[in-house]
Structure 1
C-alpha cells in the first residue's frame, strides 16, 4: 500500500493593503503558519499541484469556498496559491483558512510571506463565507517584491498588498494544506482558472500531491483537458 502519492500531471472596489489586523480565530492568535512542503514517514502536508523550475513570476486560481464541517477542534486547512515552498524555505502565498478551534468552521482571508507569520484580514472588512467565489494570485513585481491579491467577487471586495522577500522563485503552487494535519470535511473543492506565468497550470508539467497523515486525507484529481482545473476531495480527518 502506498504511503503517499506524488505524480507528474500530463496532461468591486479595490482596497490597498491595510495594517495587520487583530486576529479573530485561535489559529490567527497562535500565528499558525502555512509552511513549505514537508514530508515525514506519514506522507505530505500538501494536496494539489506544484510547478518546478526557475524564474516563476505569477500564479493564480479561482475556487468556490466549500461548506466545511468540523470533525474536531484541531481541524484547520486552507486552499491557497503561492510561489516557492516546494523545495525551498520560503512561501509567498494567499488564500482562505477554515479554522475549527471554536468547534464550528470559521473562514478567514489571509496572506503569508513565510517565514513571517500569516496576516489574517479583518472579517468585518473582508468577510468570507461558504459559497463565495474566490480568486487568488501572487505576482513577482521585481526587486524581491511580491504582489498578493485576493478577491471575493460574491462580496465585492479585493485585497492587494505588496511585500518584499528574498526568495528563489523555484516553484509555483495551487494547494490545499492543513498545518495541523487535520482537515475538516470540505467535501469537494474545485480549482479553476489555474495559471502559472500566464499559461495553464498543466503546461508547466506540475507535480501532483495527495495529503497524507498516516492515511490519505484527501485526493487530488487529474487536470482537466484545458490544464487549468482540478478538484480536491475530502477522504478523512
Structure 2
C-alpha cells in the first residue's frame, strides 16, 4: 500500500517513481509506501495481529470500528486489514482502511492491494470512511488464481467488491494492523471482531501472535477472545 496524498514524505522517495497501476473507474492510486509481506526475523516488525499458517487457505474475514487516531508526526501511517499470504511468502492479497498523517491530520481511505502490484485506493467521495465507522473486510480465493476482495462500511452504507488474479501460495491468512513507515499514529485501542479463516474461527488455526516493533514495541496484541474470533490492538508508542 502506498500513501495516497499528493505530498510524499521523504521516506517514500525511493518508491515514488513506481508507475501507478491501471485502476477501475471511481478508484485512485498514487505513489507512496506499500504494505508488504512480513519480514518476521524481529517479532512483528511492522505487523501486529494474528497470522494463521499452513496451506490451502481460501478465505479470511474480520470487522472493526475505525479508530479515532491522533497524528504524532507526518510520517504516521497505519491500516487494519485482512489478507491471504504474506507471512513467509512474497505475495499478499489484502484489503482494509489506511489512516495517513502526511497532511498533518488523519485521513482515512479504503484500499486493496495484490502485492507486488501497486495498491489501489478507492475514491474518498464514492467510498468515504471516518473514525467511528463500522468496517468489515474479506478476501476469498475464487479458484484459478483469482481472489475476491470485499470491503463494507455499514455506517456509510457502501460495499466495494472486486475480483483480481494473482499467482500465489495461499500459505497464510492474517488479521493485521501495519505501518509501512514504522510510525503508528495514536489509535488508542482497536478491536477486531468476527475474525474467521476458511469459515472457522481464527483461533481454531492456532495463529501466530505478532506485536509490531521498530526496536521497541509500538502496539500490543491481546490474547484471542474465548470464541477465537476477537482480539484488540493497543497503541504503545509511535
TM-score normalised to structure 2 length: 0.88
- The alignment yields a C-alpha RMSD, in angstroms, of 1.4
Aligned match of 2:65: 64
Consecutive aligned runs of 4 or more in structure 1 exceeding 3 Å deviation: 17-20, 39-43
Question: What is aligned with 2:105?
Answer: 104
Separation (CA, whole Å) in 2 of partners of 1:40 and 1:109: 29
Offset at residue 128 of structure 1 (A): 0.2
Q: CA deviation at 1:38?
A: 1.6
Partner SS state of residue 27, structure 2: coil
User: Which residue pairs with 1:195 in the alignment?
Assistant: 196
For 1:30-45, list aligned pairs within 5 A: 30-39=31-40, 44-45=45-46
Residue in 1 aligned with 2:83? Answer: 82
- 1:22 counterpart (16, 20, 28): 28
Aligned match of 1:116? 117
The aligned residue for residue 220 of structure 1 is 221
Report which stretch shifted further, 70-79 or 39-48: 39-48
Structure 1 CA distance for aligned equivalents of residues 33 and 97 of structure 2 = 13
Equivalent residue runs for 1:147-186 within 5 Å: 147-186=148-187
For residue 44 of structure 1, give the secondary structure of its aligned residue in structure 2: coil
Residue 47 of structure 2: aligned partner = 46
Shift, 1:144, TM fit: 0.1
Alpha-carbon displacement from aligned partner over 1:169-216 (angstroms, at most 9, x marks no partner): 000000000000000000000000000000000001000000000110
**Contact 1:174–1:194 (CA<8 Å) still a contact in 2?**
yes
User: Structure 1 residues 163, 178: closer, same or farther in 2, change over 3 A?
Assistant: same
CA drift of 1:19 comes to 3.2
The question of whether the paired residues in 2 share the 8 Å contact of 1:42 and 1:214 is answered with no
Query: 1 or 2, which has the higher strand percentage?
Result: 1
Distance in 1 (alpha carbons) for counterparts of 2:45 and 2:229: 23
Q: How many residues align?
A: 216
Deviations 1:47-97 (A, max 9, x none): 000000000000000000000000000000000000000000000000000
Q: Indicate how the Cα distance of structure 1 residues 227 and 40 shifts in structure 2: closer, same or farther if over 3 A, else same.
A: closer
Structure 2: runs of 5 or more not aligned:
1-22
Offset of 1:41 from its aligned partner? 5.9
The residue that corresponds to 1:208 in the other structure is: 209
Q: What secondary structure, in the 3-state scheme, does the structure 2 residue paired with 1:19 have?
A: coil
Q: Distance in 2 between matches of 1:205 and 1:38?
A: 20
After TM superposition, the score normalised by the length of structure 1 is 0.88
Would the aligned equivalents of 1:200 and 1:226 in 2 still touch at CA under 8 Å? Answer: yes
Residue 4 of structure 1 is matched in structure 2 by none
Distance 1:117 1:102 in 2: 21
Using CA pairs below 8 Å that are at least 6 residues apart, which structure has the higher relative contact order? Answer: 1
C-alpha deviation, 1:134, in angstroms: 0.2
Structure-1 residue corresponding to 2:230: 229
